[in-house]
Structure 1
Amino acid sequence: MAPSEAQREDTALQHRLGVLTVSRVRRLSLLTDFDVWLFRSGRHFRLYEKLGSHLVKVDGVPGVYFAVWAPNAERVSVVGDFNNWNADEHVLVRREDGSGVWEGFVEHVEAGSLYKYRIVSHGGGYAAEKGDPFAFRWEEPPGNASIVWDLSYKWGDELWMKRRSEKNSLKAPISVYEVHLGSWGRGSSYVEVGEELARYVAEMGFTHVEFLPLMEHAFYGSWGYLTTGYFAPTNRYGAPQDFMRMVDVLHQSNVGVFLDWVPSHFPTDSFGLAYFDGSHLYEYDDQRMRVQPDWNSYVFDYRKGEVVSFLVSSALFWLDKYHVDGLRVDAVSSMLY
């Protein structure tokens, strides 16, 4: 469960009164100097292996490495169900290389743990609890906490993957069946849809399915086009491994998988990317460029290398971890004009 107002107020009161606990974060980094250079220059395409939450062991002790980009922050804490959402217990360490990354290792946090980042901006004028931009799983809406998760899965689509380049070749016949999973499955899980959809698509002679966005999104009425979790399939239909199983079954049925992907704009939910660290970090600072008027959403600031690294990493993440065959890029006009 996410923190109650009473829990938040109690922690805030303790902070004002100076009743602070000692942070129990251990120094740890998965980032090398080369990683940081790639990240800042817009050339890090596997950033999901470095930022976010990662289950690791340090000196034989299990736990989670947390890392988040928040250069305008004065203080960043990990809060979650493992510390009663106490912002003083696990304060992350700011890297000293000017990257704006805060990181650290928290012992004994397990897969399935709920968490957010408590971010206080420079000067203390802004404070918010934010979901992890690189979270592999989120709570099912209306919940909005991130979830520590491991993406291990035993794939059975080796034959498809070996032939993927020819199946998706410009010279290969392609007939695409577009699917809004929630409508087509009518409440079914990823696994249930995978089995039924594979049979139907193969019978109808389609070579590929294209799913309307299945990345986590808070507002169901957006059909997924207001993405909040760029590295997480929506939790509405099951766990990440259930999504993998759906892709696996489709591939084993000789059906390719495309995903709608939305790098053009994102919602302004207080727990998401908007005004992330008390500054317009992911979006344009200039309001004339920042607001997407059709959706009243924010447009990514493509001038920042870190934002480019975030988006390209998201695109490649779905091809890498979920064996997706291609992406349809939505609302390109918002990126150009």
Structure 2
Amino acid sequence: MSGQKFGVAGATALVIGHCAGMLDLVALPVWVGALVERFGFSPQQSGTLATLFLLGAVAASMFTAARFNGLNQKVLTVGGFAVTAAIFLYASTQTSFSTLAIAHLAAGVSVGTALSMVHGVMGQSVNPHRLFAIAGMALGLFAIILLAAVPQLLILRGGPVLFQVFSGIMAVAAVVAALFFRNPTSITEHEKKPFNRVIWLTILGISIMTFNQAMVFSFVEVIGKSRGFEAAHVLGVLIALGFVNFLFPAPLATFLQNRVSAPLVTQIGPAVQAVLAILVTSATAFQIWAPAAAVFVAVQIFTHTFVFGLLSQLDPTGRAAAATPAMLMIGAALGPIVGGVLGENLGFGALGVAAVLVAASSITCFTLARSAGAALKVKTA
């Protein structure tokens, strides 16, 4: 695959930016859990705050991705992470729902801008699939540290420490980007070409899949405790989840890159996710619930690695890759609040039923994309 080389330092800046920007993917359980337990918000209110953060990121990503080729990616990356750090630091001093709602929305806008630049540049690398897989491994290691440390810090120092930690993460990303982030040197001439049906269906499919991810995963900690599992055991599962994410999905995706069809992976991923969602939301035995919860995120990381590589091939300009935060978070934005409404009114078992229906929609999109891709190859052969 043709692409640009950014060197070890440049690639490291992209990976760190990915981890900071994808904070919600690994932090939603402790994020929502802290808002419920430490700030006294209802599950629906807590889900709404997370949704506002994600909606802000979606809006920023949609706006900047379409203009990616004409922007200074480094300036927006550094500025986006720096502003997010300041907002989270301010949020740590607040307790009212309305103030935190505004802060979550503003933080989402700034981090979405930075993350779009990171993913767009990743999409123009020599091997986007491999670089995104490496970033996925780093995200798994990041999750191990985060999910082990934050609950303990919350016990010791209370709710505000959640946002203080988030602020520190964003500040580190801003500094690293300022030092090592490199803009791509050239952009392909096809930048104004509209996305074809294959790209749009793939984007829709992964967006729906991430809706499922957020709807269920946001409440993993809450579900575990509601089942009567000991808090220490639930925490252990979250830590194990981080180890699973670090050790398995990204290395496996790298190994299988040229051995398994990416469209096939996109069809299988949502089905596996649905089965795990049923187990996470309905299992009453810890021996069943724990393994399903521990591997739940790994399915998303594995599938999305193939989607990222596929989109980078379909659109060499980097615009589709730059839209990654939007395509992920437009689904994830609705997940926490829908999960909160279903859990609060119908019980968490309803999340499993909803997950099956949502997975069917995602599989349909990926199947149509695969068919459209095959038809396109026939036409252009």
Name the TM-score class by shorter chain: under 0.3
Which TM-score applies when normalising by structure 2? 0.25
Structure number with the bigger relative contact order (C-alpha 8 A, sep ≥ 6) is 2
Q: Which structure features the higher share of helix residues?
A: 2
Q: Which structure features the higher share of strand residues?
A: 1
Which TM-score applies when normalising by structure 1? 0.27
Rg comparison, structure with higher value: 1
